[in-house]
Amino acid sequence: MSSRQSKMQVYGVEGYLPTIGIECHVQLKTDTKLFAPVAVGNFRADAANQHLTPLCLGLPGALPVINRKAVDLAICAGLALDCGIASVTSFDRKHYFYPDLPLGYQISQHYQPLVLAGEIIIPLPDGGQKAVGIHHAHLEADAGKLTHPKGRDYSLLDLNRVGVPLLEIVSQPDMHSPTEAQLYAKEIYLRMIYAGVCEGDLSAGHLRFDVNVSVSDREDVLGTRTEIKNLNSFRFIHQAVTYEIDRQIKLHRGGESVVQETRGWDEQGKSTFAQRSKEDAQDYRYMPDPDLPPLQITEAHVDSLKKSLNVSPPAVRDLLKGWRITASSIEIMLEEWSVLVPVIYENRQTLDGPRAVVLVNWLLGDLLAALKQSRLTQKDIVATWSELLVLAQAVLDDKVSATGGKKWLMEIVQDKKTVARLLQAAGGGQISDVATLQPLVDRVFDQHPGAVEDARVDSKAIGFLVGKVMQDSRGRANPSLVNDLIKRKLAGS
Ligand code: MN
């Protein structure tokens, strides 16, 4: 955005400026719950109400004890978001009644959150960048899960989720389009995955996005916002924000006002629907939890966690950009190869530009296709990484053609064959020495004088001669070298 353009000029929709802020709940990758020594378990596989303690049930006398691992993961998440970490942090009770919250309040952080303000920079598809402020992020315990079976007069309650550690990341209202909202959500996802703080299975609800949307016909005044709850796909975020902007503008146009409320997302209908009117912070009667002492976080502890962090997406982008990988390919690499990318980054010294480009092309092509069809896993690639380097080098050295090298990928990754053996089996691989190829070229010239004459007047006719040499070498000749030799012979040198 040029400084002379107003936000309205850049983002305006029919004279209205949309503004979007996002709260994201990240499920931290711990074995046990946030305040109780009981397994988090697997929500999809486990029977209901298996992982409970008196605290999860809100029984009298049960006391919470903080899970150190959850605090460390939250600090790592904060560092991955380029945010500050509080030196003192404390827990508060957020009061509300809900049948899946036996305590009657959620243990959260209101006054002294663990993760302080920061800013993340998001690459845009057009090559630009977008800065989004992080207001803060806080630790809190998840609630249980209610299901309402269709056509029945009862609801089912599963409390396995009660007390599972969440980090709620609250953005500033810095986004102004569905695309910016979607890209922000994806960036949060990537940062959490690379920091190793979250399993990152969106369909299992490991990251849930609450998206606040408002529109205003003035840049300096925010409109009334609505909150779309629990979106768990980047596509849904784009669709829901688009729908909500449109709905709110129609209300304004019709002289009606937007109601501050929580709305749900209807996947089938591709629309949002009213759920409940939205509380303000003061309604929750936040109070410090007397059962949990404040935590002191030392700088030394934060530093040691910082050192343990994997590479971050921005550092990966810088590295791959240096290898002249395109921006869109970099984003695919980050998303699809999140296990492998840190390995590539660690071994960046052993990779030079050309070899890296060959490898990345395989990863974005045949290997990605195989990964998506579950014919291989990222771990297979990690295990055979050094052999892939050898193969890339063989291609660059013309020991095997680019097409031939590609054909060997799966044999190396899946069948654990070595490049040396594959070259041997192929009869020594590609022929790239002039001494062997020149006689083949000479013979083709002798056998096809007509084609030689054609090639002299029309350079496109060279293909026939190249094809003949390739045939005579049973496909082993290096085609670009053959091409060169033919051109040189045609030029009479
Ligand atoms: Mn929350």
CA distance readout (Å), 342 to 26, 101, 308, 348: 21, 39, 13, 10
CA distance readout (Å), 95 to 89, 288, 289, 367: 20, 11, 11, 50
Residuewise pLDDT in 10s, the chain (493 residues): 556 789 999 999 999 999 999 999 999 999 999 999 999 999 889 999 999 999 999 999 999 999 999 999 999 999 999 999 999 999 999 999 889 999 999 999 999 999 999 999 999 988 889 999 999 999 999 999 999 999 999 999 999 999 999 999 999 999 999 999 999 999 999 999 999 999 999 999 999 999 999 999 999 999 999 999 999 999 999 999 999 999 999 999 999 999 999 999 998 999 999 988 766 767 899 999 999 999 999 999 999 999 999 999 999 999 999 988 999 999 999 999 999 999 999 989 888 788 889 999 999 999 999 999 999 999 999 999 889 999 999 888 878 888 888 989 999 998 889 988 888 787 666 778 888 889 899 999 999 999 999 998 888 888 899 888 877 876 778 888 899 999 999 988 5
- How many Cβ atoms are within 10 Å of 33's Cβ, its own excluded? 27
Enumerate residues 6+ apart whose C-beta is below 8 A from 470: 477, 479, 482
Question: 17 CA to middle of ligand 1, Å?
Answer: 27
Question: 264 CA to middle of ligand 1, Å?
Answer: 16
Closest to 228 measured CA to CA, from 242, 246, 209, 205? 209
The three-state secondary structure class of 117 is strand
Global pTM?
Answer: 0.85
Question: 64 CA to middle of ligand 1, Å?
Answer: 18
Question: 141 CA to middle of ligand 1, Å?
Answer: 8
Question: 258 CA to middle of ligand 1, Å?
Answer: 23
Question: 96 CA to middle of ligand 1, Å?
Answer: 12
Question: 286 CA to middle of ligand 1, Å?
Answer: 13
Would you state the structure tokens that stand for residue 188, as one six-digit string? 């949060």
Enumerate residues 6+ apart whose C-beta is below 8 A from 109: 89, 90, 91, 92, 138, 139, 140
Phi and psi (nearest 5°) for 135? -70, -50
Q: Please give the angle made by the CA atoms of 407, 413 and 415, to the nearest 5 degrees.
A: 90
Question: 19 CA to middle of ligand 1, Å?
Answer: 21
What gap in Å lies between CA 493 and CA 491, rounded to an integer? 6
Question: 123 CA to middle of ligand 1, Å?
Answer: 27
Question: 25 CA to middle of ligand 1, Å?
Answer: 7
Question: 166 CA to middle of ligand 1, Å?
Answer: 8
Question: 211 CA to middle of ligand 1, Å?
Answer: 12
